[in-house]
Amino acid sequence: MDNETRQPSTTAFVHTRGQAFRIGVALLLLALGLYLWTLDNGIAAYELEGGDLITHQYAQVQARFSNAPGYPLYTMGGWLWYHALKPILRPIANPIQILSSYSTLWAIVALALMYTLLLMVTRRNVIISALITLAYAVTYFFWYYAVTTEQYTSAVAHTLAIVIVAFRWQEAFEAGEERRANRLFFLLAFLLGLGLAHMVTVLLIGPPIAWFVWRTDRHIWKRWRLLGKAALLAALPLLAYIYVYVRGAQHPEWRGEGSWPNTLSWFLYFLSTPQGRAEMTWTLGPFTDLFPSLIWQELTWPVLILGLAGVSLLGRRRAIVFYATFVLYFIFCYIDRYGNWYQVIMPAYPLVFVGVAVLAQRVWDWLESYPRAIAQAGRGVLALLIFVLFLNRLVVNYPRADQSNRPIDTGLDPGWRLLADDPAPNAAIFGVVEEKLALDYITIIWGYRSDVKAVTIDEARALLASEEHPLYVSVQAAPFFFQQVKEVVGVKSGGLYLLRIGRPQPVFEPPADMIPLDIYFGNQVRLVGYRLTRPPKAIPLHLPWRLTLYWQALVPQQVDWSVSVRPTLKGQFIYLDGSLVQSDHAHPAHGYRPTSTWVPREIVRDDYPIPADPRLDFDGITVILYRAIGEGKFENLGVANFPVVLR
């Protein structure tokens, strides 16, 4: 037996189980509070375009497989987590927060396991274990992935669980507890097998663990029955890939680009992780600007140096496991130094902190040989130094790791604007790329207006012909739409941001929900009614009120009149920040229904924004129908004033 099972100075525990449990619960609650405070609650436009974050979110909401090879166990767990918590948390959390909290769950599990491991190697020194766990909890990458939707905190938890079970197995084996040792060996085999159905790079610790088991039990290779059962347990997680196959068969549209003769061909191709291989940069050469310098930037030089030194104090076999794991991670990350190595290497970082804890415990024990006052002062300084490390990482990393209320989280705004126009049930909307991505997210993941579908230009053409669903085009996408669709179509205003598209069929009856008016402009045009509506309460965006006017041409119009809409208070125009509050259209319906195209007696819808500014108090609207006649002069067809009621 080598020295790894012998304690440095005494076999007595530093603190009791009760103390360790209470402090552990407190530190986990503290970490949980910090992560919930900084939890991701929005999404940037570039994140909607693709990447692991958005892929995991769609996977966990729709129970679809994620990036190759699918992360089946993690995704199935995320699906259960999201759909179980959504009905409970929706009043206080949006879907992005609920999805991100799944990473938080694994972060807390990882911290609990790390605290447990540190208690093991420090003889249950609660002070050192808790402070180092907190210091690790606020390292940038762990913190960032604890509050966003990716799987890396679960990889950390997975690695720590493997280490703990391996160490417990060693203790049971060397204590002669055969039954307990066998159970732990089976658990260790199962945990290693989980890597086959989760984050495969976690298995970089596999060869060192296999060596560790062999060095501890030199005759284990002769125990064929034990090894056979362990192999079956290790292979058990592979059954999770049935889920990937089934979902791929049910949804061929999820398979991505490529053509396969059947589901099995696609499945085998998918399992070979061609995407992952394509992203690897198998190139030898010099280091980069980030590799390996990002390692000590993340950990700090003192932690890296002291941690690597402290690992040697674990005992020869345990130290070799850690050092061999570090080497394998370093080699792998060097090969992929132009890729996402900084995510892959994350499970190695807590092992470095374990080395710091072991070294700190040696100093703690060394101080025991001094008089009580000196020992207590020295231990206080030691604890203070670790606490300063925690504060340093907290202060330095907080601005970057905080994912809540980011100014750049405007990716969904284009979709919310379109849905604020309240399109008809089962509507199809053609918009620009940003609008389509936002609409897909809001309708699928957020679950708001799931009856609405964002469509491509080809799908829009087909719907225009079939009229199977109400078709809308965003004002921003309208120029491209009309360039692609050569036929004559009917165009109506669909709100502040939408146009209603269909066959050219004039409407002669005003809607029943408008407030009627009877205002004439030069006996040529009549304003028959209006509506003033707020955006739906479910829209989490500050948007203007929508003033909808309903026009009617009394005779054919030879002139294209422009419209100016101005809110009034007691008959007076309103100014905000020195500017007149007004909204003008060169032509009604966002410019797509000039008055010269109106059919007599046709009802034409026209929409205008009214700022939803708390400083704006108004009780009426002035509408001016006018045209420019050159040299800065204008001719009015008429001016109308009417009181309004906000609905």
Task: Supply the DSSP symbol for 68.
Answer: T
641 has a pLDDT exceeding 60: yes
Residue 363 belongs to a domain: yes
Residue 237 belongs to a domain: no
Residue 206 belongs to a domain: no
309 has a pLDDT exceeding 50: yes
* DSSP E strands, 384-537: 428-430, 453-454, 471-474, 490-493, 498-502, 515-521, 525-533
Amino acid (one-letter) located at 445:
I
Tell me how many degrees the CA angle 459-465-470 measures, rounded to the nearest 5. 70
Task: Give tens-digit pLDDT for 229-244.
Answer: 999 999 999 999 999 9
9 has a pLDDT exceeding 60: no
Is the bond preceding residue 208 a cis peptide, omega within 30 degrees? no
> Residue 6 — very low, low, confident or very high, per pLDDT cuts 50/70/90?
very low
Using the 3D structure, point to which of 360, 378, 401 is the last residue of a domain: 401
Determine the longest span between alpha carbons in the chain, in angstroms.
Answer: 106
Give the whole-angstrom CA distance, residue 404 versus residue 447.
21
> Residue 496 — very low, low, confident or very high, per pLDDT cuts 50/70/90?
very high
Summarize the confidence of residues 162-186 as an average pLDDT.
Answer: 97
Summarize the confidence of residues 148-173 as an average pLDDT.
Answer: 97
Instruction: Return mean pLDDT, the chain.
Output: 93
CA dihedral 615, 616, 619, 624 (to 10 degrees): 160
Task: Supply the DSSP symbol for 581.
Answer: -
Residue 245 belongs to a domain: no
> Residue 597 — very low, low, confident or very high, per pLDDT cuts 50/70/90?
very high
Domain count within the chain: 3
User: How many CB atoms sit inside 10 A of residue 630's CB?
Assistant: 6
Same domain, 535 and 455: no
Same domain, 365 and 458: no
5 has a pLDDT exceeding 80: no
Give the whole-angstrom CA distance, residue 227 versus residue 221.
8
In this structure, of 3-7, 69-73, 298-302, 479-483, the range with the lowest mean pLDDT score is 3-7
Nearest to 412 by CA among 437, 381, 376, 445: 437
Residue 173 belongs to a domain: no
516 has a pLDDT exceeding 50: yes
Q: What is the pLDDT, as a whole number, of residue 325?
A: 98
Expressed as residue numbers, the domain containing 94 is: 16-167+267-401
Same domain, 608 and 531: yes
> Residue 278 — very low, low, confident or very high, per pLDDT cuts 50/70/90?
low
Same domain, 307 and 418: no
Same domain, 108 and 36: yes
> Residue 270 — very low, low, confident or very high, per pLDDT cuts 50/70/90?
confident
Same domain, 27 and 159: yes
Same domain, 553 and 598: yes
Q: What is the pLDDT, as a whole number, of residue 7?
A: 42
Backbone conformation region of residue 552, classed left if phi is above 0, alpha if psi is from -120 to 50, else beta: beta
> Residue 274 — very low, low, confident or very high, per pLDDT cuts 50/70/90?
low
Spatial contact of 639 and 620, defined as CB atoms under 8 Å apart: no
281 has a pLDDT exceeding 80: no
Summarize the confidence of residues 499-526 as an average pLDDT.
Answer: 93
Q: What is the pLDDT, as a whole number, of residue 11?
A: 60
Chain length of the chain: 647
Residue 554 belongs to a domain: yes
314 has a pLDDT exceeding 80: yes
Nearest to 351 by CA among 376, 329, 378: 329
Task: Give tens-digit pLDDT for 331-349.
Answer: 999 988 888 899 999 999 9
User: How many CB atoms sit inside 10 A of residue 564's CB?
Assistant: 18
Same domain, 284 and 389: yes
Same domain, 550 and 635: yes
Summarize the confidence of residues 373-401 as an average pLDDT.
Answer: 97
Q: What is the pTM of this model?
A: 0.92
Same domain, 347 and 452: no
Using the 3D structure, point to which of 458, 480, 502 is the last residue of a domain: 502
Using the 3D structure, point to which of 401, 424, 445 is the last residue of a domain: 401
Same domain, 356 and 421: no
> Residue 367 — very low, low, confident or very high, per pLDDT cuts 50/70/90?
very high
Task: Give tens-digit pLDDT for 400-424.
Answer: 999 999 999 999 999 999 999 999 9
Summarize the confidence of residues 452-456 as an average pLDDT.
Answer: 97
Q: What is the pLDDT, as a whole number, of residue 58?
A: 94
Give the whole-angstrom CA distance, residue 316 versus residue 3.
7
Same domain, 556 and 497: no
CATH number at residue 522: 2.70.50
